[in-house]
Amino acid sequence: MATYSNQHWLLSHIRNSFISTDDTGICETVMLSDDMPKRYLWKFQTANTAMEAYRRSHRAAQQRKSQIPKTPDTATPMQRTGPLQHMMPPRIADPPLHEVDFVCYPGLDLSDDEDLDMSTHSFDIQMYPEVGAHRFRSNTAQKLEKLDIAKRKAARIKSINYNEEVLPPDRKDFFKRKVLIEQPIDKPSTSAAAAVRATAINRTELASDDDLSDGGVKSMLSEQMARSPKQTQNRFIEYARFDGTAQVGMPTKRINVYVNMLPEPERNYPLKICVLSTAKIIEVIGLVCYKTTLQYPDAVQLQSVQHYALYMTEDNDDMDDFPPLDNREPCSKFGFSHLTLAERRPLAPVTRIDYHNQLGTKSMTSEEDKAAMADAALNALQNFNLNGDVPDAGGGDSPLDHIKEYEQRLLNHNDMLEAPMHRTYRVSIIDKRFFKCDVTLAVSGERIEIDQHKNTKFWTQRKPLSTPIELVAHCEIVEQRQLKALLRIWLKSNSSSSLPTSCTSAPSTTSITTLIAGNANSSFVHSPASPRYPWMYSSSGFGFFTTISNIRFKHYDFVTDVHTAEQIRNKLNCILEMRASDIRREFLQQRERKQEKQLAKRQLKL
């Protein structure tokens, strides 16, 4: 087959096969930055254009040369290679690829940036989970083995025919009437005794309500219960239900888990667990904790499940440097035979992978401290919940305050991971006084885009807008009704003139009042926090700007349901926070200054 001799095709094929058979669930995040076929393609193309340029100049030189009398040695190809290497542009680090070395496979070179999007990977390939773990055996072989096992089991099971003929017992004493020891006779046999007892009962009932216990009898259960206080109830018992051992008709998974927290000899041996395939990773962690506490009751004091994470592991219990498995994924997604349960590591390596663009990486490192803080807060929360059902009444400095403080700073790991992903929302933009039109708002780690729906009326037709995330300053919900919310996104205006020309969608102030009917006198009433100045108000009917420190801000207003609004706000602010953008800081500072001024003014008035 001709294609097999094509390196580019082979590289792509290997890569795609790897992705499609991968059961770790994270290969894509790891391989995303390492698209070899693409890199070679790029190199090839650059090299190719460079070579074209060279060839052209060389031909020109040759033409020039041909005008002067030819010497035999300049025409030898041996010497021609010399200047070729010499003239190669220095920006190509790798040795250049010649067309003979690297032939781009037709079709594979058509892709461009959009290929970075994971959604363009083929979804047609359906894989059975068994592939990769072990090879398929034929159905007959499997059936035969099952039959064999069943036969061997059956040999040990005694079988009785239910519909057998009735065979009366030979022995006369087979059914023996037992004479009951008439204990109750000495109890309430006479009515008088019963009456006495009844009054006694009534009395004790009032006193202790323990009327029915007679002192002499004690069961083994009572004894054992007395010996084992309430605390012995396993904390992870809620996860016991995910145990797949002996489950009938439910898909299960067997995993060997090394428990890193255990002391030396024990932690070298994996805990063999069988878990329901439907269980999420967090529930698998719970089950492992449960099993660990059962098997090694005194070895280790485990903390809450959030404290731990499952990491990929080689059979020799070497933990890999990959991020932990996602807590929310069902365990059936992963095909590991061995895993390690360890304390959750700081978030940094996880986030680095997801932000493959330079900017993201940079800002994430600055987030590391915050992540550690979030972890600490999480732990604090859990410990608080678990250790003290009733918070210390005596302790004046309640940990609750700290927790609340932390909670505000606490960015959910998952939110942070998800925030830069591209998502679209259907919202209505409030536009030019009172028009509302439906648009698609797309938010990603790189930009926000506003695109109008095709079916809107002709007079509101406008071009789609795209704003790089660097220019976005803030997002807030300015008004919230029962169902609808008014969402405002603040951006840096990129126009230099005071009368904006580019921001076609920038709403006027009057549009803000559309939700607040009959309250149009001042925008301060309903959005007191927006950093605007009445005297700067532009009558043009477009946006208006603040000019302090030379950064101007404009805003778009959207109407959507409360839930979506919150989603967009959280996502966008999460992105902005992670980028630690200067624009945002500037915006918030301006707003603060303005609020202070207002306050001062109000005090002056008073």
Partner 1 sequence: MEATEEQLILATGGYDHTIKVWQAHTGNCIKTMRFVETSQVNALDRTPDKTRLAACGYQCIRLYDLESNCTAPVINFDGVQKNVTRLGFQEDGNWMFTAGEDHRVRIWDMISAPPHCSRVFDCQAPVNAACLHPNQVEIAMGSQNGGVYLWDVKSEVHEQLVPEVDASIQDVAISPDGHYMAAANNKGNCYIWQLSSSPSQHLSTMSPKKKIQAHSRSILRCKFSPDSRLLVTTSGDGTACIWKTEDFTKWRELSIKNYWVWDAAFSADSKWLFTASSDGIARLWKLHTKNCVRDYTGHTKAITALSFKDEIVAD
Sheet holding 435-443, edge to edge: 465-468, 447-452, 435-443, 423-431, 553-561, 484-492, 472-480
Q: Is 577 left (phi over 0), alpha (psi -120 to 50) or beta?
A: alpha
Among the residue ranges 128-136, 156-164, 319-327, 484-492, the one whose residues contact partner 1 (CB under 8 A): 156-164
Site for partner 1 in 526-585 (CB under 8 A): none
> Does residue 176 bind partner 1 (CB under 8 A)?
yes
> Does residue 498 bind partner 1 (CB under 8 A)?
no
234/440 with CB nearer partner 1: 234
Among the residue ranges 39-47, 65-73, 171-179, 592-600, the one whose residues contact partner 1 (CB under 8 A): 171-179
Q: 311: which residues sit within 8 A by CB, 6+ positions away? A: 319, 320, 322, 324, 325, 339, 340, 341, 342
Among 157, 207, 393, 606, the residue binding partner 1 under the rule CB under 8 A is 157
Query: Site map for partner 1, 231-260, x if CB under 8 A?
Result: -xxx--xx-xx-x-xxxxxx----------
Query: Site map for partner 1, 332-351, x if CB under 8 A?
Result: --------------------
Among all chains, which residue has been given the structure tokens 């500072």?
589
> Does residue 160 bind partner 1 (CB under 8 A)?
yes
* End-to-end CA, the chain: 89
Among 78, 100, 179, 206, the residue binding partner 1 under the rule CB under 8 A is 179
The least CB distance from residue 129 to partner 1, in Å, is 21
The number of C-alpha atoms within 13 Å of 593 and in the hemisphere containing its C-beta is: 12
Which among 529, 533, 555, 551 is positioned nearest to 543, based on CA atoms?
555
Site for partner 1 in 249-308 (CB under 8 A): 249-250, 276, 294
280/594 with CB nearer partner 1: 280
Contact present, 376 and 402 (Cβ < 8 Å)? no
Sheet holding 338-343, edge to edge: 271-276, 252-259, 338-343, 308-312
Among 5, 85, 140, 183, the residue binding partner 1 under the rule CB under 8 A is 183
Cα 333 to Cα 271: distance, rounded to the nearest angstrom: 20
Q: Annotate 235-292 with DSSP letters as a single string.
A: TTGGGGGGB-TT-SSS-EEEEEEEETTS-HHHHTSPEEEEEETT-BHHHHHHHHHHHH
Among 191, 219, 301, 521, the residue binding partner 1 under the rule CB under 8 A is 219
Among 99, 101, 130, 223, the residue binding partner 1 under the rule CB under 8 A is 223
The least CB distance from residue 189 to partner 1, in Å, is 11
Query: Site map for partner 1, 29-68, x if CB under 8 A?
Result: ----------------------------------------
User: Over 300-316, what HEC string results?
Assistant: CCCCCHHHEEEEEECCC
Amino acid in position 12: S
Among the residue ranges 183-191, 520-528, 548-556, 587-595, the one whose residues contact partner 1 (CB under 8 A): 183-191
> Does residue 586 bind partner 1 (CB under 8 A)?
no
Which among 161, 167, 169, 121 is positioned nearest to 18, based on CA atoms?
121
Binding site for partner 1 (CB under 8 A): 153, 156-169, 174-180, 183-184, 188, 198, 201, 209-210, 212-214, 216-225, 227-228, 230, 232-234, 237-238, 240-241, 243, 245-250, 276, 294
